[in-house]
Chains A and B, each alone.
Chain A
Amino acid sequence: MTNQRTQFISTRGRGTVPAAGWGRNQNLTAFRSERRLGPVANTVMIVLLTAFLGLLYLTQLTKTSAFGYEMNAIDEKKTQLAAERDDLKIENARLQSIARVESSSVAAAMTAPTDIQQSE
């Protein structure tokens, strides 16, 4: 279905300045492949390429969707932690509230001073 032929083409001396084309490591030789794809091979290649791209798209899409779940899980965790933080904040505030302090055992054990002297 394909045929192949190798043709040697020398580009030596094609420079506009002949002397400049003879520089070191400039062995200017090119090989032009004579292999040609037929119409069936082209179609197969296009189909395969399309399938590959489709697969790539689907894997990326799935991966992106998975981020959605990950984000949702993180959001839920964040909400839970915020709720826990709020509960702790409330508990802390209640423990330090005036009513609580007044009814504490420390306050109950206090006695009124009999004499107060102020210094200025």
Chain B
Amino acid sequence: MTNQSEQLSRASRLTLGLFLILAIFLVRLFYIQVISHEEFLAKANQMQISKRTINPERGQIYTKDQNGEIVPLVLNQTVYTVFADPTQVKSPEKVKQLVTEVAGSQVIKSNFDKLSSTSLQYVVLARQITHSQAEKIQEADLAGIGLQSSSRRVYTEGKLANQVLGFVNADGKGQYGLEQYLNTELSGKAGLLQSVTDVRRIPLTIGVHDVSIPAEDGTDYVLTIDRSVQAQAEAVLQEGLKNVNSDSGSIIVMNPNNGHIMAMANYPDFDPSDYTKVTDATAFQNHAVSYAFEPGSVMKTMTTSMSLDLGKINPDTTFTDPNCVQIDDAKICNAEGDEKFKGRTFTMTKVLQYSLNTGVIWQLEQIGGGDITKGARQTMYEYFHDKYRFGQTTGIEQPGEVKGTIFSPDNVQGNKVRYANMTFGQGVSVTMVQMATAFSATVNGGTYYQPTLIEGTLDKDGKETTRDPKIISDTVVSDGASRDIRKMMFEARRGSWPTADGGYYVGSKTGTAQIYDDTTRTYSKDRTTGTTIGFGADKDGNAQYVIMVRIEYSGNQGFAGSVAANPVFTKMSNWLAQYEGMTKP
């Protein structure tokens, strides 16, 4: 009995012990599964669930050719980085041979030496190889070699419209031009894929918390730029600059009847697919919108349009040229060499042709009843600022657009002398796009269209949705004043260059202004800005295109407007008149 009791007691103890251990397990399990539930759930999710960002495709940029066909300007390309894990590479020589054969110039030869290293696990062997090259490397199936995909921008027309387009930096962010201005729209929205994955991080469809938010690709844009016009504008600008040994200039071609920019180019320029080689960042800037300058005598067209609209002059109104006028303490004269006109009587059309400063000052005096009164200055300010919109950004789709400077008559600087100077384009600064847009309004019948580079957007099926032109004002000048200024400019141009246009109805005005140096706070003595602005019209005299050219000139063969800018204008206009199929009067 005693032995039996002892045995039973031992069995009981064993049972008790087992239950105790079981109880410990249970308590531990309770602790893990109930009390620490959240903590372990989070750990498990962290190990099993992977979150992956789905990158959207960046919107692409298109333009049109002569036939109105949509052609690409900026596309995306999937490219690959070839990397090696030296600890896994079995035959460095084979790897070296394969990568050299396939990747060619994209190989980073200096990294081949690292293939034998045992301490490195990631060595880049080649960058930016194409899909077909990547396939060859994949087919070789060499141990320790991997591929990483990424996307890059491809500028299919090379440097064409480079400053209008801008570029995309290594972080995928748009810089300068449309790439910067439309960065949000072009970028699209990233998607999210959250799911349980296997050990190779392949998403499985078994998780209860799986999330799949598809990426929204960026918007595809169609530009108003005409590919052929842009190419021609760039070519004639560069040729023109070369002819006068200049290193800086711009050109704008626009449709005055809807505000569409057909071409916009500047020099110096850059290659957007090789932007890292640019040493001077000013090459990235679209000076047609970001550089304000004193335009010089091209402004006389705007002053004359104002005077016509106010009914103070007509094309045949005459005035007698005094050559110089005294305004307060300043003596303002015509350009050097125009003394021969002193005392002669000219029509307003001839004032434009001979570019008489005194003639446009006289127009302003007529507005004030014979003097540049505050009322005359206020009226001029209303035209220049409110109607022509100088001193305001135009809203064109480019970053860094500047307003330029115009002083109100209420400002101490808005005195008689300044306003007298403003009539012929000094003492006021404007951008090319401001000037071309305002000029368009004066020659199209009086409608100010917001200048634009965007014609519309493309959907995924390639169908275009066009945007309506945006009218800012349709009362800039009257239809009659518009018709008169076109006629005056046509006659003025024909008077100066009778055979330049091959019989087409073209009107223009040149200008030359000294360049103000912000550093020395003085006007440069040997450097001037030559400008030409004008239009081409059909046989009925309706303006079909507007061209503005600006060239910085250091030569001494004449006025920059006539010597440097006008030849570029003429060449562009003649080409454009034929390209557009214009009819001669």
Contacts and interface: CB of A to CB of B under 8 A. Distances in A.
Given A83-B78, A87-B131, A93-B71, A99 B205 contact: no
A68 B160 contact: no
Interface in B194-212: 195, 198, 202-206
Contact of B157 (A65, A84, A89, A98): A98
B154 interface: yes
B227 A98 contact: yes
Interface residues of A, number: 25
B524 interface: no
Contacts of A80: 131
A87 B130 contact: yes
A87 B78 CA distance: 8
Interface residues of B, number: 27
A48 interface: no
B132 A94 contact: no
Contacts of B583: 120
A102 B158 CA distance: 13
Contacts of A72: 202-203
B77 interface: yes
A82 interface: yes
Interface string A35-47: 0000000000000
Contact of B231 (A67, A89, A90, A98): A98
Contacts of B78: 79, 82-83, 86-87
Contacts of B130: 87
A67 B231 CA distance: 52
Contacts, number: 66
A61 B228 CA distance: 60
A54 B76 CA distance: 49
B75 interface: yes
Chain B interface, DSSP helix/strand/loop, else mixed: mixed
Nearest to A72: B202
B72 interface: yes
A90 B154 contact: yes
A39 B415 CA distance: 112
A83 B583 CA distance: 47
A96 interface: yes
Contacts of A99: 157-158
B203 A68 contact: yes
A69 interface: yes
Interface of A: 61, 64-65, 67-69, 71-72, 79-80, 82-84, 86-87, 89-90, 93-94, 96-99, 118, 120
